[in-house]
């Protein structure tokens, strides 16, 4: 059976852990019935999760491929299916299939380069897989900077991991910001694009952006102001994906299918697409 056909066949997944990240984001740990992982993946790829009788949707795989114990998905409550998922408890079963999509070029273009990860809100979730992959193979990459912002401290996804692990690693600099002042927060206050401009990064690095479309737009503009070329910057576009294999046409944009040609795109490739997103 071909790989693409195998990815169409759902398997039963068991939710083996549920972590509350923010008031509207939970992270679900998923294993197979025998305690393994449903499939192998690469950083930036997605999987389809479904609840029979409710629906299915595509979600980023937020655990690193180097984690062979389980798959994790950080899911924001924002609709019917996600509301059902947020009611799931330890031991319950779901259907899962994948992986789908074109991953980040972690084993080619990123190797030997300094990396600048920029995330807003739930946009950290797709980048967490890439960041932890690069942490695992630390000697393959140069210096790593992570800029992450959210509405408030309470909305920062994976905050304990950031503070207890990322902050403490040599060669990794984490820059956190929240939109508005908050009691108990003594860190930076301001929007992500403004903070990136303030940090004034040099341009000898690869940029990786994920977040709300408006944040990506303004952050890319700031990076260009600083002297970055679009060929140096990657982003991930996960809107509209439905079937995962380019058959339903829902994610078609110009001559591309986000599910097959993306969700990872280099930013100069976006200039070739019609302005539909």
Q: 30-39: per-residue pLDDT in tens? A: 999 999 999 9
Q: Give the containing element (helix H, strand E) for 46.
A: strand 46-51
Give 209's contacts (C-beta < 8 A, 6+ positions apart): 118, 119, 123, 216, 219, 220, 233, 234, 235
The reported pTM is: 0.92
- Predicted pLDDT of residue 237: 77
Neighbours of 184 (CB within 10 A): 5
What are the structural domains of the chain? 3-100 (2.40.30.10), 114-236 (3.40.50.80)
Give 139's contacts (C-beta < 8 A, 6+ positions apart): none
Measured CA to CA in angstroms, residue 146 lies from 205, 207, 260 at distances of 12, 10, 27
Task: Report residue 231's pLDDT band, with 50, 70 and 90 as the boundaries.
Answer: very high
Of 233, 238, 211, 236, the closest CA to residue 222 belongs to 233
Read off the pLDDT of residues 75-133 as tens digits, 9 standing for 90 and up. 999 889 999 999 999 999 999 999 998 899 999 999 999 999 999 999 999 999 999 99
Q: Which two tokens stand for residue 225?
A: 């102001």
Read off the pLDDT of residues 12-28 as tens digits, 9 standing for 90 and up. 999 999 999 999 999 99
Measured CA to CA in angstroms, residue 104 lies from 126, 235, 248 at distances of 10, 9, 24
Residue 3 confidence (pLDDT) above 60: no
């Amino acid at each position: 059976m071909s790989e693409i056909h195998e990815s169409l066949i759902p398997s039963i997944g068991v939710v083996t852990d549920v972590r509350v990240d923010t008031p509207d984001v939970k992270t679900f740990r998923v294993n197979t019935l025998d305690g393994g992982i449903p499939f192998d993946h690469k950083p930036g790829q997605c999987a389809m999760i479904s609840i029979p009788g409710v629906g299915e949707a595509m979600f980023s795989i937020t655990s690193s491929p180097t984690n062979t114990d389980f798959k994790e998905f950080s899911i924001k409550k924002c609709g019917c299916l996600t509301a059902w998922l947020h009611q799931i408890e330890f031991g319950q079963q779901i259907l899962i299939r994948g992986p789908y999509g074109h991953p980040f070029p972690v084993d080619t273009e990123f190797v030997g380069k300094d990396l600048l990860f920029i995330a807003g809100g739930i946009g950290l979730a797709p980048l967490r897989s890439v960041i932890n992959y690069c942490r695992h193979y630390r000697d393959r990459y140069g210096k790593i900077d992570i800029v992450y912002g959210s509405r408030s401290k309470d909305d920062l996804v994976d905050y304990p991991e950031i503070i207890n692990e990322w902050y403490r690693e040599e060669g990794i600099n984490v820059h956190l910001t929240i939109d508005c002042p908050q009691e108990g927060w003594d860190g930076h206050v301001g929007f992500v694009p403004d903070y990136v401009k303030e940090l004034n990064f040099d341009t000898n690095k690869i940029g990786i952006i994920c977040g709300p479309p408006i944040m990506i737009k303004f952050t890319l503009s700031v990076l260009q102001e600083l002297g970055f070329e679009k060929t140096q910057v990657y982003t991930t576009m996960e809107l509209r994906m439905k079937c995962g294999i380019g058959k339903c046409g829902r994610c078609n944009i110009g001559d591309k299918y986000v599910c097959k040609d993306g969700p990872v795109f280099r930013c100069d490739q976006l200039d070739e697409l019609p302005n539909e997103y």
